[in-house]
Amino acid sequence: MKVRAKLCGLTTRGDIDAAATAGAAYVGLVFFEKSPRNVTIETARSLALHAPVGLAKVALVVNADDAALDRITASVPLDMLQLHGAESPERVAAVKARYGLPVMKALGIASRDDVARAQLYSGVADQLLLDAKPAQGEALPGGNGLSFDWRLLEGENWSVPWMLAGGLTPDNVAEAVRCCAAQQVDVSSGIETAPGQKSAALMTKFVSEANS
């Protein structure tokens, strides 16, 4: 089965074109002002409208309230919302009900207890994104180039689709896929030449290596 790749933190139409050419299944648009990959609603709308049919457009938000989500969803044609903050299962369910879009919940993993906590979201989220837990005091909840021990996921059964994230690069994604039988992978900093600066060559290599 082909491994589906999500290329996150895209900021230009050229990024969208490169992701489509690389064979990405999803593109991520970041709505988080502290991130070097943050985009305005106007830019996100332009990028989403530019994306070819079949390339799923995902909005990444961090502890966004309904007012913020209202503004985003009213202007940007989206296929999925990614909740990357401290949202509770109840909040995930409320977002799904309010916006009628599939919801992916991102969860930081550093221990078996974190894996067990992630399972609590299986009943409410449409997908899970299993990321490296950020260091204490880290400003960004993801996109930090950190990985976690993929062996923590060995033998784990999930009732919803899940995506592996955290420190993935073209050089290690094949190993990560083999280690925990991931069918979906997410990358942001691993396809950049500098924070927020995406590389078309690295996008292509990443998707290729994920399926090697």
Q: Is 32 left (phi over 0), alpha (psi -120 to 50) or beta?
A: beta
Q: What is the pLDDT of residues 29-48, one digit of tens each?
A: 999 999 999 999 999 999 99
For position 155, what pLDDT does the model report? 87
pLDDT-derived band at 2 (thresholds 50, 70, 90) equals very high
For position 84, what pLDDT does the model report? 96
Q: Which of 44, 121, 127 is nearest to 80 (CA)?
A: 127
State the amino acid at position 57 in one-letter form. K
Q: Which of 113, 210, 135, 103 is nearest to 165 (CA)?
A: 210
Inform me whether the pLDDT recorded for 137 exceeds 90. no
> How confident is the model over 3-17, as a mean pLDDT?
98
DSSP for 20-44, written as a single string: HHHT-SEEEEEE-TTSTTB--HHHH
Inform me whether the pLDDT recorded for 136 exceeds 90. no
For position 209, what pLDDT does the model report? 98
How is residue 16 written in tokens?
């969208």
In angstroms, how far is CA 110 from the centroid of its own chain? 18
- Alpha-carbon distance 50 to 53, whole Å? 9
pLDDT-derived band at 140 (thresholds 50, 70, 90) equals low
Q: What is the pLDDT of residues 70-117, one digit of tens each?
A: 999 999 999 999 999 999 999 999 999 999 999 999 999 999 999 999
Q: What is the pLDDT of residues 145-163, one digit of tens each?
A: 678 999 999 889 999 999 9
For position 16, what pLDDT does the model report? 98
Helix axes 66-75, 41-50, angle to 10 degrees: 40
Three-state SS at 127: strand
